[in-house]
Copies of this chain bind each other. A is one copy, B any other.
Amino acid sequence: MARGESASKAKIIAATLDLLRAAGLAGAGINNIVAVSGAPKGSVYHFFPGGKHELVTAALRQAEGAVGEGFRTIFSGDAALPQKVLALFQATAERIEATGFTKGCPVAAVTLDIDDASEDLRPISDAAFATWRQIIASGLSDVPAAERNKVAQWILATLEGALILARAQTSADPLLETGELLALTLSRGSPPSRNGRDTRKRDSTRRSRERARS
């Protein structure tokens, strides 16, 4: 592909991604994509003969990679798990705040817009979430290996949910506050487990008794 062609294609994907982040499938009509990218309609169909779904697929795959890189930067570091979680939620809070709370996660937005006509996009969303979960899980060296996937899923679910509340409230508080609760929880011994809970209960009872005696 010539350099000019490649630049146009990149511009069209970037415009699609931007529209998906803002308004999901509702916002990413071909006419909007043409308007935002500045590319002629013919060139959109030239690069993406499959139309809107092919374009959305390309945009979501790009987001999977780019967002995944951000997750990797945070979770592959040497910081303790609570610090990684705080960094993730703080970075996400700054990112959405910078858009005036108008643009969130494109994969979440598309997932909630999938109906019979767009069912072919579901595996694309699923793959992106799976990649992100795996990147987070790889950075959970503080967590027993058997529990890493579930804890990673919990971190991702909390992040996605807090992003929705942040957009509705036009405030970063839901991200900062849930991130802090999650980080504190994970700093108390991660993950919580049935056994962990029972042990801690016994420990704390024992400590209370010791305090009462002393």
Contact = CB atoms under 8 A, between A and B. Distances in A.
Nearest to A149: B177
Given A24-B24, A26-B113, A157 B158 contact: yes
Nearest to A203: B207
Interface residues of A, number: 61
Tallying the copies of this chain within the complex gives 2
Contact of A160 (B24, B151, B164, B177): B164
Interface stretch (A4-12, A43-51, A185-193): A185-193
B192 A184 contact: yes
Contact of A167 (B23, B114, B193): B114
A181 B154 contact: yes
Given A112-B108, A177-B150, A157 B161 contact: yes
A3 to B, nearest CB: 33
A161 B115 CA distance: 19
A201 interface: yes
A27 B161 contact: no
